[in-house]
């Protein structure tokens, strides 16, 4: 008998598929309901063919109160606006909530309006949510009923920078280029994400205005960085899964190569899902399909009071950058072993 009951909303998309995949085989959590805006009444396998014969659950389109009924925890892969009434219903019913949208990642309603283009409908709820990066907020996640899972780019960019922020070595401008796969754009194709226009193309989009920028800056400051500013340029690439981020940061000039390299190795020793590769740089094929991230540092030249450090990171945008991290947060919130259902290393190549 499984101890907890979970609901997934937004289950017909790519992130929803990852949530469902992990929950169907979770030893302690029973998936009782999958909500979606399409495929209503159909078996999950109609939209998620890899689940053929694995479950008799069907897609539903319930209202907020019905959606959360009987659940200990609700995992949402919904648009920002759709997540608000579900959060309200879940809190009223005593259920825990993990929101994978950007609705509750920021503390500032002004930043939300600037980067998401609308007034936040419930700014009073922002303080209820913990930012769901376990490597930063593990203890708070365990105690909170409401967790906002980070964005995929945000997770990839934050992980190599956080150890430097915690030591107080970061301040000023950080420049990052992040390359991402097409699954991050969602299940519905558009003119710029459809396979024929993406398969042989590299394209920059939202340069210096990407919505994950303020959450990265917030996370770095909360970890101990000074007044950092992120200049972030995202690039869409002709691959399905994966993010590779390259960040350029200035640190105090007196730091040695050994100190810079040890910063990441020491910070992530014992972390279940962050690896510092030995003898190679992070690469997408090493983490694709898994909840693992890889990070690495290359010390650079000195110039006056600072020196350059170049940081590399990669992850699967749908797993550690999305649904896998949500499951990791769920395990923490329910008092379960953090790595349950998440230790599969993925496939190679």
Q: Percent of the chain beyond pLDDT 70?
A: 100
> Is the model's pLDDT at 190 over the cut of 90?
no
Average pLDDT, the chain: 96
Query: What is the chain's length?
Result: 349
Q: What are the residues facing 339 on neighbouring strands?
A: none
- Does residue 238 sit in helix, strand or coil? coil
Convert the pLDDT of each residue in 214-226 to its tens digit: 999 999 999 999 9
> Is the model's pLDDT at 56 over the cut of 90?
yes
Which pTM does this prediction carry? 0.97
Average pLDDT score over residue span 177-185? 94
Cα distance between residue 213 and residue 131, in whole Å: 14
Average pLDDT score over residue span 186-198? 86
Cα distance between residue 84 and residue 121, in whole Å: 8
H or E segment at 294? strand 293-303
Convert the pLDDT of each residue in 128-139 to its tens digit: 999 999 999 999
256 CB contacts (<8 Å, ≥6 apart)?
A: none
Average pLDDT score over residue span 158-181? 97
Q: Percent of the chain beyond pLDDT 90?
A: 94
> Is the model's pLDDT at 185 over the cut of 90?
no
pLDDT tier at 70, thresholds 50, 70, 90:
very high
Convert the pLDDT of each residue in 99-149 to its tens digit: 999 999 999 999 999 999 999 999 999 999 999 999 999 999 999 999 999
- Could you tell me whether strands 172-180 and 203-204 are parallel, antiparallel, or unpaired per DSSP bridges? unpaired
Flag the least confident range among 154-158, 188-192, 328-332. Answer: 188-192
From residue 99, alpha-carbon distances to 86, 143, 149, 239 in Å are 10, 16, 6, 26
Q: What does the angle CA 127 – CA 79 – CA 236 come to, to the nearest 5 degrees?
A: 110
Helix 152-166 to helix 134-143 angle, to the nearest 10 degrees? 100
Cβ of 231: how many Cβ atoms within 10 Å? 14
pLDDT of res. 167: 98
Q: How many CA atoms, within 13 angstroms, populate the side-chain half-sphere of residue 74?
A: 31
pLDDT of res. 164: 98
pLDDT of res. 81: 86
pLDDT of res. 127: 95
Q: What are the residues facing 60 on neighbouring strands?
A: 35
Convert the pLDDT of each residue in 296-306 to its tens digit: 999 999 999 99
129, 267 contact by CB (below 8 A): no
pLDDT of res. 186: 86
Cα distance between residue 69 and residue 33, in whole Å: 9
pLDDT tier at 68, thresholds 50, 70, 90:
very high
**Chain centroid offset of residue 229 CA:** 20
| pLDDT greater at residue 192 or residue 62 | 62
Cα distance between residue 131 and residue 96, in whole Å: 14
When computed from its CA atoms, the radius of gyration of the chain, rounded to whole angstroms, is 20
Domains and CATH numbers, the chain: 4-150+320-333 (3.40.50.720), 153-317 (3.30.360.10)
Convert the pLDDT of each residue in 259-294 to its tens digit: 999 999 999 999 999 999 999 999 999 999 999 999
Average pLDDT score over residue span 41-60? 96
By CB neighbour count within 10 A (0-12 exposed, 13-18 middle, 19+ buried), where does 196 fall? exposed
Average pLDDT score over residue span 309-316? 98
Instruction: Let me know if 152 is a catalytic residue.
Output: yes
The catalytically annotated residue of 146, 152, 263, 314 is 152
């Amino acid at each position: 008998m499984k101890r907890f009951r979970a609901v997934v909303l937004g289950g017909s998309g790519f992130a929803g598929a990852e949530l469902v995949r992990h929950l169907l085989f979770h030893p302690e959590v029973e998936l009782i309901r999958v909500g979606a805006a399409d495929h209503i009444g159909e078996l999950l396998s109609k939209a998620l063919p890899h689940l053929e014969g694995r479950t008799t659950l069907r897609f539903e389109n319930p209202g907020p109160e019905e959606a959360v009924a009987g659940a200990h925890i609700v995992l949402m892969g919904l648009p920002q606006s759709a997540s608000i009434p579900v959060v309200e219903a879940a809190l009223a019913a005593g259920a825990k909530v993990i929101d994978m949208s950007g609705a509750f990642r920021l503390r500032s309603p002004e930043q939300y309006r600037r980067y998401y283009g609308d007034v936040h409908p419930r700014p009073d709820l922002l303080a209820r949510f913990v930012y769901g990066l376990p490597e930063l907020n593990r203890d708070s996640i365990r105690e909170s009923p409401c967790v906002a899972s980070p964005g995929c780019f945000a997770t990839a960019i934050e992980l190599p920078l956080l150890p430097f922020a915690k030591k107080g070595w970061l301040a000023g401008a950080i420049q990052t280029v992040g390359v991402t796969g097409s699954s991050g754009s969602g299940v519905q194709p558009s003119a710029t994400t459809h396979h024929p226009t993406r398969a042989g193309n590299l394209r920059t989009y939202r340069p210096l205005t990407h919505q994950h920028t303020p959450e990265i800056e917030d996370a770095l400051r909360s970890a101990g960085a000074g007044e950092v500013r992120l200049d972030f340029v995202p690039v869409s690439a002709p691959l399905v899964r994966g993010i590779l981020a390259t960040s350029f940061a200035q640190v105090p000039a007196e730091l040695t190569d050994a100190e810079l390299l040890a910063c990441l190795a020491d910070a992530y020793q014992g972390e279940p899902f962050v690896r510092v590769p030995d003898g190679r740089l992070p690469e997408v094929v090493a983490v694709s399909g898994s909840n693992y991230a890889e990070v690495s540092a290359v010390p650079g030249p000195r110039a006056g009071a600072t020196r350059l450090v170049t940081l590399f990171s990669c992850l699967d945008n749908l797993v550690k950058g999305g649904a896998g991290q949500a499951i990791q947060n769920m395990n923490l919130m329910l008092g379960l072993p953090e790595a349950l259902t998440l230790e599969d290393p993925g496939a190679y190549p």
